[in-house]
Amino acid sequence: MTHANATPEGRGYEATGPEKFVRPEILAIQAYHVGDSAGMVKLDAMENPFPLPDALRRELGDVLSRVDLNRYPDPTGTALRAKLRGVMQVPEGMDILLGNGSDDLIQIMTVALARPGATLMYPSPNFIMYSMDAVFSGMKAVGVPVREDFSLDLPRFLDAIREHRPALVFIAYPNNPTGALYAEEDIVEVIRACEGLVVLDEAYHVFARRSFMSRLPEFPNLAVLRTVSKLGLAGMRLGYMAAHPGWIAQFNKVRQAYNVNSLTQAAALFLLDRLDVLEAQAESLRIERDRLAREIALLPGITVYPSEANFLLVRVPDADRVFEALKERRVLVRSVNAGLTRNCIRITIGSPDENRILMDALSAALGSI
């Protein structure tokens, strides 16, 4: 008879939970949190609020109905990479790697470059997944604070490069959560100073209308990372990176086989031929962003920071109370109340109707605290 507290060999043991076996640095952090948005005006995740036009949705549905779901997808997305090369003007001689969103590619790069003692560096504050993936891969994460106006503190950043000699540097261009677009000449200085790979995360390039894509051939240690999420295709989960072929060849070894599914590849091929629809939506959001920034700035006790993305960073008298007051009024934004962004909320640019609801709720929230 085998007892419940014995191994097959008969040695006794005590039942234990994950705390005994999970790495302590994983136990110490929280999972990436996505708030419940049911019934809310959802302005927390930098999504495009506009759906595809009905006619385009019907055409897309027809395309997807013909995908052979009984077969595995093209593992490297050959046709999609070729389409992206043309549509996104990837320079001749550069290669492309696809990911299940840009998050997938961030993780691929950190895993590939996580030699013992290696450092990952980024301006701080920044996209949380850079530091989280450093933890997951065992890299040392070094966040270099930006200036009070959220511009890049170039001397400080260059000093940190000399001190830590990072294997990997992530720079969101423009930055999340601040919306700041760092000076191009500062970025060039960082690339030239760094021995490791510098990744320009251009998730919001359609709003900033600035890019380092054309300059890839100049810098052997530069990669440009993008996603189609901010274009209005967040549900597709498609990211892509362009870099010199040597980098892509190594990262491709780390990529999960079939990481971009057949439906995503088919949808992307179809929609990249109709990019004008999505770019027109982005232009509407740029106009709405600037209008909304002016309107919010008129509210008492408010600071609105310049943004080149599809969101606004707004400093309020009490971020936690304003966040909860907005939530009570069925408006969901993102609280980034920490460090240099203390008492700040981040507001995604919604549709004109959503933004009117936001303004009413924000005015009421400020009046209630």
Express each pLDDT in 259-296 by its tens digit: 999 999 999 999 999 999 999 999 999 999 999 999 99
Question: In the predicted model, what is the mean pLDDT of residues 123-144?
Answer: 96
Share of the chain above pLDDT 70, in %: 96
> What is the strand order of the sheet 119-124 is part of?
95-99, 239-243, 222-227, 197-201, 168-172, 119-124, 140-145
Q: Is the pLDDT of residue 6 over 60?
A: no
Q: Is the pLDDT of residue 361 over 80?
A: yes
Query: Would you state the CATH architecture of domain 26-50+276-368?
Result: Alpha-Beta Complex (3.90)
Predicted pLDDT of residue 32: 85
Concatenate the DSSP letters of all residues of 13-30 into one string.
-----GGGTS-HHHHTSP
Higher-confidence residue of 39 and 3: namely 39
Predicted pLDDT of residue 11: 55
Coil, strand, or helix at residue 210?
A: coil
Extents of the domains making up the chain: 26-50+276-368, 66-273
Q: Is the pLDDT of residue 347 over 60?
A: yes
Express each pLDDT in 286-341 by its tens digit: 999 999 999 999 999 999 999 999 999 999 999 999 999 999 999 999 999 999 99
Lowest mean pLDDT among 2-16, 191-205, 335-349, 355-369: 2-16
Express each pLDDT in 176-226 by its tens digit: 999 999 999 999 999 999 999 999 999 999 999 999 999 999 999 999 999
Residues 6+ apart with CB under 8 A from 156: 144, 145
Confidence band of 22 (pLDDT split at 50, 70, 90): very high
Do the beta carbons of residue 74 and residue 82 sit within 8 Å?
Answer: no
Do the beta carbons of residue 279 and residue 206 sit within 8 Å?
Answer: yes
- Rg of the chain on CA atoms, in Å: 22
Predicted pLDDT of residue 113: 98
Helices 102-113 and 128-137: crossing angle in degrees, nearest 10, is: 40
3-state SS, one letter per residue, for 130-194: HHHHHHHHCCEEEEEECCCCCCCCHHHHHHHHHHHCCCEEEEECCCCCCCCCCCHHHHHHHHHHC
Dmax over CA atoms of the chain, in Å, equals: 77
Q: Is the pLDDT of residue 153 over 80?
A: yes
Residue 100 DSSP class: S
Number of helical (H) and strand (E) elements in the chain, helices listed first: 13, 13
Residues 6+ apart with CB under 8 A from 12: 3, 5, 6
Half-sphere exposure of 155 (CA within 13 A, CB side): 1
As a residue count, the chain comes to 369
Q: Is the pLDDT of residue 33 over 90?
A: no
Q: Is the pLDDT of residue 237 over 90?
A: yes
Q: pTM of this prediction?
A: 0.92
Do the beta carbons of residue 265 and residue 331 sit within 8 Å?
Answer: no
Coil, strand, or helix at residue 315?
A: strand
Predicted pLDDT of residue 12: 52
**What is the distance between the alpha carbons of residues 80 and 126, in angstroms, rounded to a whole number?**
30
Confidence band of 16 (pLDDT split at 50, 70, 90): confident
Q: Of 231, 228, 212, nearest to 278 (Cα)?
A: 231
Q: What is the mean pLDDT of the chain?
A: 95
Predicted pLDDT of residue 1: 46
Q: Is the pLDDT of residue 4 over 70?
A: no
CATH T-level topology, domain 66-273? Aspartate Aminotransferase; domain 2 (3.40.640)
Concatenate the DSSP letters of all residues of 222-284 into one string.
EEEEEESGGGTTGGG--EEEEE-HHHHHHHHHHSPTT-S-HHHHHHHHHHHTTHHHHHHHHHH
